[in-house]
């Protein structure tokens, strides 16, 4: 994207921070960039999905999101993951706490990723209609899932189609445009992923160009 002349910045969120903490960081960045009248396209992956939704749909006022032209959510855990619900009950919860402690990961980020907490949070979020929302969703079959994802995929399968980390339906945003990626799981390990990323960016550019001037 930089080679195409775009100003690309990585939001310095905390990987194991809570949804609320990281949403505040994203909101501050959007406010700061908006002061410069920048035209922003936000890109989030996985856990950053609900963080971005919270920033845009609750923390920021509608007038503070005018500079945001589009949001691309890649494998967004918008309504959490049932895998988090599974490990929040005893005895799995204390086992996970021990594992997280050894890996120096903060356990407090996990409760906000449960499907129960995430669905309740999304009920209070209203995304501004001026933002083009594109969700890039991996939709694997059982034979497409990588070995290190198969156990999670198998567990979630009884609840519905999933990408190995969350249900596909729980990645969708109201009013969003969905781009389906068959044969890939949640981690999008594909030798052509850079080319596909450019294709999505090109689609977003075309959609924004076709919008009325007041929204551009």
* Residue that wins the pLDDT comparison between 62 and 72: 72
Using a pLDDT cut of 90, give the percent of the chain over it.
Answer: 79
Does the reported pTM lie above 0.85? yes
Residue 213: predicted pLDDT: 54
Structure tokens at 190: 């594909």
Instruction: Take residue 11 and report the two structure tokens written for it.
Output: 């939001």
SS3 138: strand
pLDDT digits (tens, 9 = 90+) for 6-15: 889 999 999 8
pLDDT digits (tens, 9 = 90+) for 38-58: 899 999 999 999 999 999 999
Give the pLDDT confidence of 80-115 residue by residue, as tens digits: 999 999 998 878 787 888 888 888 888 888 999 999
Closest to 26 in 3D by CA, of 46, 3, 48, 1: 48
Q: For residue 24, how many other CB atoms are within 10 A of its CB?
A: 17
Highest mean pLDDT among 29-43, 132-146, 198-212: 132-146
pLDDT at residue 215 in the model: 46
Measured in whole angstroms, the distance separating CA 190 from the mean position of its chain's CA atoms is 19
Report the alpha-carbon distance of residue 216 to residue 212 in Å, rounded: 7
What angle (nearest 5°) sits at the alpha carbon of residue 129, between those of residues 216 and 119?
Answer: 140
Can you tell me the mean pLDDT for 169-175? 95
Q: Among all chains, which residue has been given the structure tokens 């594109």? A: 134
Superfamily name and number for 7-211: Alpha/Beta hydrolase fold, catalytic domain (3.40.50.1820)
Domain residue extents for the chain:
7-211
214: pLDDT confidence band, cut at 50, 70 and 90?
very low
Residue 114's SS3 state is strand
Residue 175 has pLDDT above 70, yes or no: yes
pLDDT (mean) for 151-180: 97
What pLDDT sits at residue 35? 84
DSSP 8-class letter at 182:
E
């Amino acid at each position: 994207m930089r080679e195409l002349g775009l100003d690309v910045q990585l939001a310095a969120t905390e990987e194991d921070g809570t949804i609320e903490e990281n949403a505040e960081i994203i909101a501050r960045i959007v406010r700061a960039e908006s002061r410069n009248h920048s035209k922003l396209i936000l890109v989030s992956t996985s856990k950053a999905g609900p963080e971005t939704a919270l920033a845009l749909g609750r923390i920021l006022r509608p007038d503070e999101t005018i500079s945001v032209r589009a949001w691309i959510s890649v494998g967004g855990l918008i309504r959490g993951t049932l895998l988090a619900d599974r490990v929040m009950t005893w005895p799995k919860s204390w086992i996970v706490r021990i594992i997280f402690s050894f890996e120096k990961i903060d356990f407090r980020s996990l409760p906000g990723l449960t499907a129960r907490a995430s669905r309740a949070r999304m009920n209070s979020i209203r995304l501004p209609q001026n933002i083009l929302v594109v969700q890039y969703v991996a939709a694997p079959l059982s034979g497409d899932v990588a070995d290190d994802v198969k156990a999670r995929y198998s567990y979630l399968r009884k609840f519905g189609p999933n990408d190995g980390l969350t249900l596909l339906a729980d990645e969708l945003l109201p009013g969003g445009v969905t781009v389906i990626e068959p044969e890939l799981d949640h981690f999008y390990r594909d030798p052509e992923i850079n080319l596909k990323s450019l294709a999505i960016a090109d689609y977003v550019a075309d959609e924004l160009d076709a919008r009325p001037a007041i929204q551009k």
